[in-house]
Amino acid sequence: MNMAEEKKEEVVLPTIWDILKAFIITLSDNAWRWMGLVVNPITQKPERDMEQARVAIDCVDLLIQKLEGKLSWEETKNFKEILANLQMNFVQQTLKGGEKGEQQP
Protein backbone atom coordinates (compact mmCIF):
# COMPACT_ATOMS: atom_id res chain seq x y z
CA MET A 1 0.00 0.00 0.00
CA ASN A 2 1.46 3.38 -0.94
CA MET A 3 1.28 6.60 1.09
CA ALA A 4 -1.70 8.02 -0.88
CA GLU A 5 -3.81 4.94 -0.17
CA GLU A 6 -2.95 5.10 3.53
CA LYS A 7 -4.11 8.72 3.74
CA LYS A 8 -7.44 7.85 2.08
CA GLU A 9 -8.16 5.35 4.85
CA GLU A 10 -7.38 7.82 7.65
CA VAL A 11 -10.49 8.50 9.71
CA VAL A 12 -10.97 11.95 11.17
CA LEU A 13 -12.95 11.92 14.40
CA PRO A 14 -15.37 14.75 15.09
CA THR A 15 -14.22 17.50 17.42
CA ILE A 16 -16.11 18.30 20.61
CA TRP A 17 -17.41 21.39 18.80
CA ASP A 18 -18.91 19.19 16.06
CA ILE A 19 -20.50 16.93 18.67
CA LEU A 20 -22.01 19.89 20.54
CA LYS A 21 -23.45 21.28 17.29
CA ALA A 22 -25.08 17.88 16.65
CA PHE A 23 -26.50 17.92 20.20
CA ILE A 24 -28.04 21.35 19.56
CA ILE A 25 -29.81 20.02 16.47
CA THR A 26 -30.97 16.86 18.25
CA LEU A 27 -32.23 18.76 21.29
CA SER A 28 -34.05 21.36 19.20
CA ASP A 29 -35.72 18.68 17.05
CA ASN A 30 -36.94 16.93 20.19
CA ALA A 31 -38.07 20.18 21.82
CA TRP A 32 -40.45 20.73 18.89
CA ARG A 33 -41.79 17.22 19.41
CA TRP A 34 -42.18 17.67 23.18
CA MET A 35 -44.09 20.92 22.59
CA GLY A 36 -46.51 18.89 20.47
CA LEU A 37 -45.65 20.85 17.32
CA VAL A 38 -44.11 17.87 15.51
CA VAL A 39 -45.73 14.44 15.61
CA ASN A 40 -44.03 11.60 17.41
CA PRO A 41 -42.47 9.51 14.61
CA ILE A 42 -43.44 6.27 16.35
CA THR A 43 -47.06 7.00 17.31
CA GLN A 44 -47.69 9.47 14.47
CA LYS A 45 -49.52 11.68 17.01
CA PRO A 46 -48.58 15.00 18.59
CA GLU A 47 -47.59 14.63 22.24
CA ARG A 48 -46.81 17.31 24.79
CA ASP A 49 -44.33 17.25 27.62
CA MET A 50 -43.49 20.85 28.37
CA GLU A 51 -41.05 19.96 31.15
CA GLN A 52 -38.87 17.99 28.73
CA ALA A 53 -39.24 20.76 26.13
CA ARG A 54 -38.10 23.34 28.70
CA VAL A 55 -35.01 21.33 29.65
CA ALA A 56 -34.11 20.75 25.98
CA ILE A 57 -34.42 24.48 25.21
CA ASP A 58 -32.34 25.41 28.26
CA CYS A 59 -29.65 22.95 27.13
CA VAL A 60 -29.66 24.41 23.60
CA ASP A 61 -29.10 27.84 25.16
CA LEU A 62 -26.27 26.52 27.32
CA LEU A 63 -24.57 24.74 24.41
CA ILE A 64 -24.74 27.86 22.23
CA GLN A 65 -23.03 29.78 25.05
CA LYS A 66 -20.40 27.02 25.38
CA LEU A 67 -19.67 27.24 21.65
CA GLU A 68 -19.15 31.02 21.80
CA GLY A 69 -16.07 31.83 19.75
CA LYS A 70 -15.94 28.34 18.18
CA LEU A 71 -18.66 28.92 15.58
CA SER A 72 -18.67 31.00 12.43
CA TRP A 73 -20.82 34.13 12.44
CA GLU A 74 -23.38 32.34 10.27
CA GLU A 75 -23.53 29.26 12.53
CA THR A 76 -23.97 31.48 15.59
CA LYS A 77 -26.75 33.43 13.87
CA ASN A 78 -28.53 30.22 12.78
CA PHE A 79 -28.34 28.60 16.22
CA LYS A 80 -29.54 31.79 17.93
CA GLU A 81 -32.50 31.95 15.53
CA ILE A 82 -33.33 28.33 16.34
CA LEU A 83 -33.18 29.16 20.06
CA ALA A 84 -35.37 32.26 19.67
CA ASN A 85 -37.98 30.28 17.71
CA LEU A 86 -37.99 27.52 20.32
CA GLN A 87 -38.38 30.03 23.16
CA MET A 88 -41.18 31.92 21.39
CA ASN A 89 -43.09 28.74 20.62
CA PHE A 90 -42.55 27.44 24.15
CA VAL A 91 -44.23 30.56 25.56
CA GLN A 92 -47.12 30.22 23.10
CA GLN A 93 -47.60 26.54 23.93
CA THR A 94 -47.37 27.21 27.66
CA LEU A 95 -50.13 29.83 27.34
CA LYS A 96 -52.32 27.18 25.68
CA GLY A 97 -52.04 25.19 28.91
CA GLY A 98 -51.31 21.64 29.86
CA GLU A 99 -47.95 20.07 30.58
CA LYS A 100 -48.56 16.59 29.14
CA GLY A 101 -50.98 15.02 26.74
CA GLU A 102 -51.99 15.70 23.17
CA GLN A 103 -51.72 19.16 21.69
CA GLN A 104 -54.53 21.48 22.70
CA PRO A 105 -56.72 22.78 19.81
Classify residue 44 by its DSSP letter. -
45-89 per-position pLDDT tens digit: 999 999 999 999 999 999 999 999 999 999 999 999 999 999 999
Spell out the long-range contacts of 33-39 with Cβ–Cβ below 8 A and sequence spacing 24 or more.
35/89, 35/90, 35/93, 36/93, 36/102, 36/103, 36/104, 37/89, 37/93, 37/103
Reply yes or no on whether the pLDDT at 105 is more than 70: no
